[in-house]
Amino acid sequence: MSTTGHYPTDVSTERGERRHHATMQLYYDVHAGSGPYVLLVHGFLSSRTQWRLNLAALARVMRPVVVELWGHGRSPAPAEPTFYYPEAYIAALDQIRVQLGVERWLLCGQSFGAALTLRYALTYPDRVIAQAFTNSSAALADAEWVKARRASAVQQAEEIERDGHAALTRLRMHPIHARRLPPEVHAEMLADAQLHTPGGIANTLRYATPNVPVRERVKDLHVPTLLVCGERETRFMPLRAFAEREIPGLQVVGANAGHAVNIQAAAVFNAAVVDFLGRHTASDVLSLTSRECQA
């Protein structure tokens, strides 16, 4: 599958690289496919490799656009805190849509990335055809979770700034601790983890993670939404129940998998997302054609 990589920014990174672009922006790959673009947003301490086992299936009905978060993988790590706040992230993601030259697209978020894609759909519902997301405590967290994250984020960020990559490997979300990933995916994730910029990860903990939940807003979602839920992550089950109660029209597909459901149960994830997003894409085309005929 052919890809086009879009390298961002005209700033020096902590790794001594210099990347050139007209404006500060996130790195993203555009993959070949049929249909509308789908923006794929990975979770904390992951990378573009998160979607390796999904790209071929998704490309049958959509064109995957795989972004990497600030300080993750190939994206820059701005020093300014403002880049990391959720509202700024939404603007950065929408910048990609503008560069692609489309009015509407599809969304798919994993874990922390799901908190961003859900927020995007709440901010710009008219720009989203439909969306899918996976287990995301960050998206649906309550006030107690936020309070705990604020307390731990400062200490973790300080440790990362002091110890660099050694501190990253101590975080439980680091792929070095993953036990249920296919070997080839695990190897790529570990390689990508070496590209993470510690300063960017520290800023993510300080400014993004505690501010990213959309729990109180999901009742206002009016975009067709699918949750593909890894049912072995038992601590997420109360949040799944909350989502089913609160998100209008939410469809849920369960899978025998843990947090990384799109990798651990790739076949189930791919079938569910292709079916759901494909159906809504077809409906969107029919609706647009009808409106054009009436004009």
Up-side HSE of residue 147: CA atoms within 13 Å toward CB?
3
3-state secondary structure of 63: strand
pLDDT at 3: 63
**In this predicted model, what pLDDT tens digit does every residue of 226-249 receive, in sequence order?**
999 999 999 999 999 999 999 999
Mean pLDDT value across residues 255-274 = 98
- Amino acid code (one letter) for 252: V
Greatest pairwise CA separation for the chain in angstroms: 63
Q: What is the CATH number of domain 3-294?
A: 3.40.50.1820
42, pLDDT greater than 90? yes
- What is the spatial distance between Cα 80 and Cα 76, in angstroms, rounded to a whole number? 12
Task: Work out the percent of the chain whose per-residue pLDDT is above 90.
Answer: 86
Handedness of CA 229, 235, 239, 240 (dihedral sign): positive
**Cβ contacts of 192 within 8 Å, gap of 6 or more:** 46, 47, 48, 49, 73
For residue range 104-152, list pLDDT tens digits in order.
Answer: 999 999 999 999 999 999 999 999 999 999 999 999 999 999 999 898 9
pLDDT at 295 exceeding the cut of 90: no
Above 70 in pLDDT, residue 31? Answer: yes
Give dist(CA 134, CA 209) in Å, integer.
17
Tell me the two tokens of residue 37.
């673009």
Report the predicted TM-score, pTM, of the whole model to 2 decimal places. Answer: 0.91
Where is pLDDT greater, at 294 or 245?
245
pLDDT band at 283 (very low <50, low <70, confident <90, very high): confident
Supply φ then ψ for residue 87, to 5 degrees.
-60, -40
Query: Residue 284: what pLDDT?
Result: 74
Task: Give the model confidence (pLDDT) of 185-233 as tens digits.
Answer: 999 999 999 999 999 999 999 999 999 999 999 999 999 999 999 999 9
Exposed/middle/buried for 216, CB within 10 Å: 0-12, 13-18, 19+? exposed
Where in the chain are the domains?
A: 3-294
For residue 136, give every residue at least 6 positions away whose Cβ sits within 8 Å of its Cβ, in sequence order, or none. Answer: 43, 109, 110, 111, 112, 113, 114, 115, 118, 239
Question: pLDDT of 60-86, one tens digit each?
Answer: 999 999 999 999 999 999 999 999 999
pLDDT surpassing 60 at residue 21: no
Residues 176-180 have a mean pLDDT of 94
* Strand stretches in 113-262, DSSP E: 128-134, 225-230, 251-255
Share of the chain above pLDDT 70, in %: 89
Q: Are strands 28-31 and 3-6 parallel, antiparallel or unpaired?
A: antiparallel
